Amino acid sequence: MKVFELLEHFESYLLAEKRCSVNTAQAYHSDLRRFFVYLKKNKKNIKTCVRTDIEAFLRSETEQKEIGSRTVARRLATIKTFAVFLKRKHSISLPVAGVEQPRWGKPLPRCLSEQEISDLFKHAKNDTTAKGIRNWTIVIMLYSLGLRVTELVELKTNQVQLDEGFIRVIGKGDKERTLPLTSEVLNVLKHYLDKVRIKLLKKWSGPSGSCKHLFFSCSKGIVKPLTRQTISALFQKLAKAVGIIQKVSPHVMRHSVATHLLGRGADLRTLQTFLGHENIATVQIYTHVDMTRLREAYDTKHPRSS
């Protein structure tokens, strides 16, 4: 079986038998492609590679600055899952036994200051075209509601309850949570729905066009939901325009609002519900972010710090 056929078979196995999400299956597919490229470069294949080849691949990944230790850990998880697949479906043994999980410290989430968020907002609001208003709606919703980017791109119009001032969000594991809309978000969203969304739909698909998703784009005359990649590119463009050096992504916006809420007195249980985390331990990392900032403020502002 050729490599691309094996990858397709593995992806189908992940979706159908392992019940993985599409995003997870795509990530595993990408990981394996890198592994196969490495093997080919070193004149090996899945039948001839040994444990040291897998370990060497993981070491080569850690040496690349743009790849974090968590990603390397996922690469190993991918290879181990692939090994199970190979054994069950093709009677091929991949020597993963004894390969250790890369160790890493739990990094603090990157987040923007409230001033940087304000700068992003001001710049996003400057574009008053229909597409610009759509983008501004996306920006304010991602930050104000702390949404995951996948939750945003999958939002349907029937999940928005403007009269009640709420929005229903489908999170990980198809778990639903209801979030209140602030007056600012409510006004922006209402304007987008009443004035802009229908205008974009007619422009891109004609008078009879329809789309259930709240946000969409048009490619080759076909209206379809926005992708996570498109929204990530939007934030990178905004960050560059206002002079923010660090990488700004939808997830950074989510981390930012969580940190800002905690700094303004929100408790962890409220934050857990707001973000849609199953385990409260997941949100406890934000207390470390807050303490880091407190330490910085103490060192620079306290009269007895020196």
> Is 211 inside a domain boundary?
yes
Query: 171 and 45: one domain?
Result: no
> Is 288 inside a domain boundary?
yes
Query: 138 and 195: one domain?
Result: yes
Residues with active-site annotation: 148, 172, 251, 254, 277, 286
Tell me if 130 sits within 8 A of 200, measured CB to CB.
Answer: yes
Query: 31 and 79: one domain?
Result: yes
Q: Which domain holds residue 24?
A: 3-90
Query: 119 and 86: one domain?
Result: no
> Is 96 inside a domain boundary?
no
Query: 180 and 270: one domain?
Result: yes
- Secondary structure class of 155 (helix, strand, coil): coil
> Which residues contact residue 175 at a Cβ distance below 8 angstroms, ignoring those fewer than 6 apart?
276, 278
Closest CA to 93 of 50, 131, 57: 50
For residue 225, the surrounding DSSP H or E stretch is strand 222-225
Lowest mean pLDDT among 82-86, 246-250, 288-292: 288-292
pLDDT at residue 288 is higher than 60: no
How large a percentage of the chain has pLDDT more than 70? 87
Query: 54 and 191: one domain?
Result: no
Task: Report the predicted TM-score, pTM, of the whole model to 2 decimal places.
Answer: 0.64
Give the burial class of 147: count Cβ atoms within 10 A of its Cβ; 0-12 exposed, 13-18 middle, 19 or more buried: buried
Query: 75 and 132: one domain?
Result: no
> Is 305 inside a domain boundary?
no
CA distance 306 to 292: 18
Tell me if 211 sits within 8 A of 201, measured CB to CB.
Answer: yes
Sign of the C-alpha dihedral computed for residues 289, 294, 300 and 305 taken in this order? negative
β-bridge mates for residue 167, sequence order: 160, 179
β-bridge mates for residue 159, sequence order: none
Instruction: Output the pLDDT for position 301.
Output: 44
- Phi first, then psi: give them for residue 298, nearest 5 degrees: -60, -45
More confident residue, 266 or 296: 266
* Total number of domains constituting the chain: 2
Tell me if 234 sits within 8 A of 135, measured CB to CB.
Answer: yes
β-bridge mates for residue 179, sequence order: 167
pLDDT per residue over 112-137, tens digit each? Answer: 999 999 999 999 999 999 999 999 99
Closest CA to 99 of 60, 35, 34, 55: 55
> Is 254 inside a domain boundary?
yes
> Is 65 inside a domain boundary?
yes
Tell me if 149 sits within 8 A of 267, measured CB to CB.
Answer: no
Query: 139 and 276: one domain?
Result: yes
From residue 264, alpha-carbon distances to 107, 289, 295 in Å are: 22, 13, 16
Query: 81 and 40: one domain?
Result: yes
Query: 188 and 279: one domain?
Result: yes
Query: 285 and 145: one domain?
Result: yes
> Is 224 inside a domain boundary?
yes
Name the residue type at position 85: F
CA distance 138 to 108: 25
pLDDT per residue over 18-40, tens digit each? Answer: 888 888 889 999 999 999 999 99
CATH classification at residue 263: 1.10.443.10
pLDDT per residue over 86-104, tens digit each? Answer: 999 889 899 998 887 666 5
> Is 8 inside a domain boundary?
yes
pLDDT at residue 303 is higher than 70: no
Name the residue type at position 6: L
CATH classification at residue 51: 1.10.150
Query: 70 and 152: one domain?
Result: no
Name the residue type at position 179: L
